[in-house]
Structure formats: structure tokens, C-alpha cells
Amino acid sequence: MIYLRGKRNIILIAVGVILVISIIVVVFIALSSAEQGEIPVEPENINVEELEMQFTNIFNNEENENVTIMYHIEREETGEYTINADIPYVHISNEIDNKINKEINDIFVNEIVKVINENDSYTVLTIDFTSSINNNIISLAIRCILKEGNNAQRTIIKTYNYNLDTNQEVDILELIPEEKRESLQEEIDKKIQGEIKKEQTIIDQGFNVYRRDPDSDIYILENATEFYVKDNILYIIYSYGNNSYTSALDLIITKI
């Protein structure tokens, strides 16, 4: 009995020594990597499905030092229109401000004026936005939801991304490490092919649906123009309502 207890103690001591050695090795490797400037790769721990479901909620009109609300409009005319709009104003530099704010005016403010002065049927117009500052990059996304009479609801989303250090517009490839671009392109292709299969199922059932073009150049990663960044998460946005009367939308979400 005493022998067995002693043997067990020897085994426990041996296991303890092995664990200590393992910890020392792990710490040594981590320190060596840090000295060489290597940063351990973080796991992709985001919940893409949850982020997709929550996407519509990010448009909360929250202001920051570079984006403020220029116009808040709540206006209703019985039988004619209902408007609820928050129009952002950008403060970065004179040249950038003039460019972005002019485009915001041309697209979104003019849509409000058009609804008030030219609508032929009851129209509901909502405009909201979301903005963030991520690694000194200001990211702004503006959404316009338009429902005119019996026409299909249309959703327009425009985005703006600028580097606050350089005062330069940010290209999407600047945000994605080169070694990750191929796999992200594959993810885009897979996503669009999946949506096209869903389209065909709906069409086969006799319903009308917005049809994506699988050969379109918009699905080439480097051609992505609408994207938003927050908390090191990149949203690539394919908002088909930017050019058609539809609310069809595809999102590619990845950690950067």
C-alpha cells in the first residue's frame, strides 16, 4: 500500500514537471516571436450570421468628432409622403469635406426635395447613417430606404472611407492583408453563387426576384466600392438598390 502511494506521488511529480516545462516552452516561443516583431494571429472568432442579422441596427445616427448631423427632418403630409431623415455632415479637411458633403447633398438631400415636390404617389422615405473611427480611418455608411406607391422598396447604401493621417481615400485592398485576399475572394464567389441558387428556387416557384449577374466585375474584390469598417470588422456591401428598384443586399463580413 505504501509502495503504491509512493509510486502515485512519483507519477504526479513527473506530470507536474512536464506541465512546467510545457509552459516555459510556450512562454519562450511567445517572447521570441515578440522580439522578432511577429504578432500572433488572432482566431476568426466573429459570428458572421449574427452580424448579418444585426446589420440593419448599426444605422443609429451616432455622431463623432468627424461626423455630425446636418439636417434632422421629420415631415409628413397626409396621403402624400412621410419623411424621417438624418443627413450627416463630414469634417475631415476642406477638400474632402467639399467632395463628400456635395455628394451627400446630390444623392440624399435631393431625394428629399424630389419626394416633397415631385412625388405622384404616397411615398415613405427614411435616411440614416452609421460612422466609426477604426485605426485612424473614418468610415461612414449612409442608407436611404424609399417606398414609392406600388413600386418595389428600394434601399441605397453609400459609403465613405478616409485615412485621417493622410487625408486620402482608403482603397479596400489597403484593409486586407495580401495573404487573405484569395480566400476572401473565394468567400465572395461562394456567397454570390449561393444567393443565385436561392433566386432560381424562388423563380421556379413563379415569383419575381432581383437577379444577380454572376459574371459582373463588381464581385472582384479589388472593385468593391461600398464597404464599412468598425471594431476591426470589415463589411463589404453589395447594395443592388444603388442602381435598381430593389432592397436586395449581400454582405461579406470578415475580421481585419
Distance CA 97, CA 92 (A): 6
Hey, which bits of the chain come out as E strands? 67-77, 81-90, 123-134, 137-148, 154-163, 168-169, 227-230, 233-239, 249-255
Give me the pLDDT at residue 20, please: 34
Distance CA 133, CA 160 (A): 12
Domain limits of the chain? 1-40, 48-255
Contacts of 80 by beta carbon, 8 Å cutoff, 6+ apart: 119, 122, 123
Give me the pLDDT at residue 97, please: 94
Contacts of 124 by beta carbon, 8 Å cutoff, 6+ apart: 81, 82, 145, 146, 147
C-alpha cell read off for 252: 461579406
Three-state secondary structure call for residue 32: helix
Cβ contacts of 210-215, under 8 Å, gap ≥ 24? 210/240, 210/244, 210/246, 210/248, 212/240, 212/248, 212/250
Strands of 227-230's sheet, edge to edge? 227-230, 233-239, 249-255
Is there a contact between 140 and 131 (Cβ–Cβ < 8 Å)? Answer: yes
Going residue by residue through the chain, which has 256 residues, state the pLDDT in tens, using 9 for 90 and above: 333 344 444 433 343 433 333 433 333 333 344 344 434 444 458 899 999 999 999 999 999 999 999 999 999 999 999 999 999 999 999 989 999 999 999 999 999 999 999 988 999 999 999 999 999 999 999 999 999 999 999 999 999 999 999 999 999 999 999 999 999 999 999 999 999 999 999 999 989 899 999 999 999 999 999 999 999 999 999 999 999 999 999 999 999 9
Give me the pLDDT at residue 36, please: 44
Identify the architecture of domain 48-255 in CATH. Answer: 2-Layer Sandwich (3.30)
> What is the distance, to the nearest Å, from the Cα of residue 6 to the centroid of all Cα atoms in its chain?
61
The Cα-based distances of 85 to 72, 215, 228, 232 in angstroms read: 6, 36, 20, 28
Distance CA 213, CA 210 (A): 10
The predicted model scores a pTM of 0.81
Q: Could you tell me if residue 28 is left (phi over 0), alpha (psi between -120 and 50 degrees) or otherwise beta?
A: alpha
